[in-house]
Structure 1
Amino acid sequence: MTRSTSLLSPDSSPSVSKSRHDRALQKGQQTKQLIVEAALRLAGQIGLEGLSIGVLAEVTHMSKSGVFAHFGSREELQLSVVREYYQRFSDEVFFPAMQEPRGLPRMRALFANWMSRVAVELQSGCIFISGAVAFDDRPGPVRDALASAVQTWLHALTRAIEQAREEGHLVPDADAQQMAFEIHGLILSLHYEERFLKNPGALERAHIGFENILLRYGKRTSPNPQI
């Protein structure tokens, strides 16, 4: 009885094909990440609204069809930028602060990390702020993604304030939502004063404003009784 021989070449074996597929997939992910990196830089300068497949193709020296293949639409490109931006924001601002003890130490870390990021974005631009201006009255997935990211962050900030109150670091009737509103207002005012108006000292004023908020809502200690 004769034995049939395989007509498959060594390179066409299932394991080799899978390896090639994995390499192609990895290369595709790396290329997409490079495009998102370029889109992030551009979005800081021209805003999310200014992003397009054509603009990214020119910046990355790729064909329009090559960029389109990774996203499928301009909207998906914008959504990818929002997701990447929020992930980086969380990695730089939120997660490091979570290593600090609950209460004022964590609150201070959140604000300090936020201010460190803002100090850079005063030069490069903030997608949350420019996106809010461009998409505030334009319903759709991009606006929803932006609003959801900001709301998630503000919820985390509010929760940190609530924990500070629970730890006894703030007065019992401290309004966490009001405090978060005021702290967020400092950041928005800082961007306007420093980036738009070019007023000197805005960073220091923001720090002073934060300390004033803590003084106003901080736990008051009774003076020592007279002996």
Structure 2
Amino acid sequence: MGKGENTKVAILDEATELASLVGLGGLTIGSLAAATMLSKSGLYAHFASKESLQVQVLQHAREKFTDVVMRPTIAAPRGEARVREFFDRWITWQSTAFDGGCIFVDAASEFDDQEGPVRDELVRAERDKLESVTLIVGTAVSEGDFRDDVDPEQFAYELEGIVLAHHHARRLMRDGRAEERARRAFDRLVEACRPVAQSA
């Protein structure tokens, strides 16, 4: 990676952290210039517009999610162990990736009704994540850890609900038991998917 690319990655690191704190909508070339002590003209050379900056921040965060959550998950043993690895890493991501919480959850609330490239990027990231969860759960079915009649898409939907509830409880309600509650809900979801013989 060249010096220019390293500089841009460092800027995107700062921009993503800033977006987690002020919201993706609050992220501007000007606010990023103030945070990085770089010139606006220099930042425009990298991003051209506020919208381009927002999209690239989402792409940067997605790459980080892939490195921190997805790659280690795929390296875990197939089956329930991989499902658990994904959940553990996703919950940890929410708690530790950025000071302001999960940028994807926050941005979804901001941009769910705003058509355009930023919303499109969010939808792309969400669809890819749900597809990955569906495939991971499918391996648990094929390995015999989960019953044959388990619907991987429904599991992904319910898992998303647990993680969103965790984010809400932890960030807004400041519930010290948020992670404990999320893990209990996840354990119940997994238990309901196991073959009857394993549930006894």
Q: TM-score range by the shorter chain?
A: over 0.9
Cα distance in 1 between the residues matched to 2:99 and 2:12? 19
Change (3 A) 1:84 1:222: closer
1:111 to 87, 98, 112: 87
- Equivalent residues in 2 for 1:92-131 (5 A)? 92-121=68-97, 123-131=99-107
Instruction: Report if aligned partners of 1:103, 1:161 keep a CA contact under 8 Å in 2.
Output: yes
Aligned length: 200
**Greater radius of gyration (CA):** 1
TM-score computed with the length of structure 2 as normaliser: 0.94
Larger RCO, structures 1/2 (Cα 8 Å, 6+ apart): 2
Runs of 4+ more than 4 Å apart:
none
Equivalent residue letter for 1:173: D
What is aligned with 2:127? Answer: 151
Match of 1:31 in 2: 7
Contact 1:122 1:194 in 2 (8 A): no
Q: Deviations over 1:16-73 (max 9, x none)?
A: xxxxxxxxx9332222222111101101101111111111111111111111011111
Counterpart of 2:116?
Answer: 140
Q: Does structure 1 residue 59 correspond to structure 2 residue 39?
A: no
Counterpart CA distance in 2 for 1:102 and 1:129 is 28
Identity %: 37
TM-score with structure 1 length normalisation? 0.83
Counterpart of 1:87 in structure 2 is: 63
Which has the larger displacement, 44-53 or 215-224? Answer: 215-224
Deviation at 1:122, TM superposition (A): 7.8
State whether structure 2 residue 159 is matched by structure 1 residue 203.
no
Cα RMSD for the two superposed structures = 1.8
Gaps of 5+ in 2: none
User: How do 1:154-193 and structure 2 match up within 5 A?
Assistant: 154-193=130-169
